[in-house]
Structure 1
Amino acid sequence: MDDIARQAGAAKGLISYSFHSKRGCCLAIVQDSVAGLVASAVSGLGLPPAGRVHRTVDGCLRYAERNQAAYRTIVTGGVGFDAEAHAIRDQVREVIVTTLAEGVYGRADVSAPARTALLSWVRGVEGATRDWIGRPGPTRAARCDPLVKTLGGTLRAVAVLDPAHPAPAPARRDA
């Protein structure tokens, strides 16, 4: 709380009063961070599907690269078990799954197998991103391309499980 007050240029008592508790302050920080991650994820709405997916993944990676502690907090749901922090994390995942479904299938209301596959892919991207920011290694671009390509495999698997959700034809990305 001292560090937050110092960064904000405010008295610690004012910070405590404004957020009612240390937990309230932490949740506010997570919610503010989530807004930045969601904005990155849904940018590029006017792009073709392949470009949109690339932009979404690159936006998430860029956010994680620039906000490592916040990204870790978001995807893990905070320190320990906190139902509100987990709800915030789940809302972010839902926005990303919905964005992907709309980009790939043209609608947000997809079947259970399609939703499960997209959510699994999103969680895989989260894990790969946490691994990437935790150690020196490939550039963001070098990390982005394989993650985008694995979505193609996920979509082909969905098409096998649920023919009502065919995989889109491979396309070149326009970024």
Structure 2
Amino acid sequence: MTAGSEQETTRRPAGGRGEARRAAILDAAARLFADRPYDALPIDEIAEAAGVAKGLIYYYFGSKRGLFLAVIESATDALNTLAEEYDELTPVDRLMRTLDGFLWWADTHRSAFHTIVSGGIGVDPEVNAFYRRSRGRMLAAISQGLIGASTPRPALRIALEGWLSFVEGATEAWLTEGDLHRDEVRDLSVRALGGVLQAAGATDPDSDRPA
């Protein structure tokens, strides 16, 4: 599918009935994309599940691709908001809460998660750019929670980038193999971060330390 093959304009309803219909479409699409590959899910089926005419999907989201992006955006916004809640929890507890949310979403939206991190529609430059923006926001929130700054020094920034790639890869392996419990994957990721932080400190002794 090329970027110009479908209308890409996304419309936001003013409220009331329009907002409810848009929410119903998003909810139905999220459920269907949870275990169906993007290319295998016809837009007619999404419309039927949402109880709306197919034309409304094009009206609100521009295309199936636009709808898929909206589903992912809604989920990543929720995860990023969770990561950005700098409350009374310790940095480790905040991190574990964020990882719990990340793993829960990946587990309940397996097909969409696989599509994002492994290719599929993710090779589309616009979709990939959206993924990179969302990933950058997550990294900034993790850095802020750990060291009190969203823009760490280069060694720590690169280390955190690599660590998040580890988390995504470990999550993909866990979903495929299923031989660990979700909590074990979370704890493994936390321990891996400890090693990453040590390595960043060894590379750059002036690197920021977790608060």
List runs of 5+ in structure 2 lacking aligned partners: 1-42
TM-score (norm 2): 0.72
What is the CA–CA distance in structure 1 between the aligned matches of 2:175 and 2:188, rounded to whole Å?
Answer: 16
> Is 1:155–1:166's contact at 8 Å kept on the other side of the alignment?
no
Cα distance, 1:45–1:133 mapped onto 2, change above 3 Å: farther
Code of the residue aligned with 2:143 in structure 1: it is A
Structure 1 range deviating more: 5-14 or 32-41 = 32-41
Cα distance, 1:69–1:37 mapped onto 2, change above 3 Å: farther
| 1:67 aligns to 2:118 (yes or no) | no
| 1:86 aligns to 2:162 (yes or no) | no
| 1:103 aligns to 2:120 (yes or no) | no
| 4+ aligned runs moved over 6 Å, structure 1 | none
The match for 2:192 is 150
RMSD between aligned alpha carbons?
Answer: 2.1
Aligned pair partner of 2:62 in 9, 20, 23: 20
> Is 2:47–2:57's contact at 8 Å kept on the other side of the alignment?
yes
What is the CA–CA distance in structure 2 between the aligned matches of 1:134 and 1:116, rounded to whole Å?
Answer: 27
| 1:37 aligns to 2:64 (yes or no) | no
Give CA deviations for 1:27-62 in whole Å, capped at 9, x if unaligned: 222222322332344456431111112222222111
SS of the aligned residue for 1:98 comes to helix
List runs of 5+ in structure 1 lacking aligned partners: 170-175
Shift of 1:158: 0.7
TM-score (norm 1): 0.85
Cα distance, 1:30–1:159 mapped onto 2, change above 3 Å: same
Cα distance, 1:78–1:36 mapped onto 2, change above 3 Å: farther
Instruction: State the structure with more CA Rg.
Output: 2
RCO (CA 8 Å, sep 6+): is it higher in 1 or 2?
1
What is the CA–CA distance in structure 1 between the aligned matches of 2:114 and 2:60, rounded to whole Å?
Answer: 25
Aligned pair partner of 2:166 in 124, 145, 160: 124
Cα distance, 1:152–1:102 mapped onto 2, change above 3 Å: same
What's the % identity of the aligned pairs? 38
What is the CA–CA distance in structure 1 between the aligned matches of 2:210 and 2:62, rounded to whole Å?
Answer: 49
Cα distance, 1:45–1:93 mapped onto 2, change above 3 Å: farther
Give CA deviations for 1:128-165 in whole Å, capped at 9, x if unaligned: 00111122221111111111001000001111111222
The match for 1:173 is none
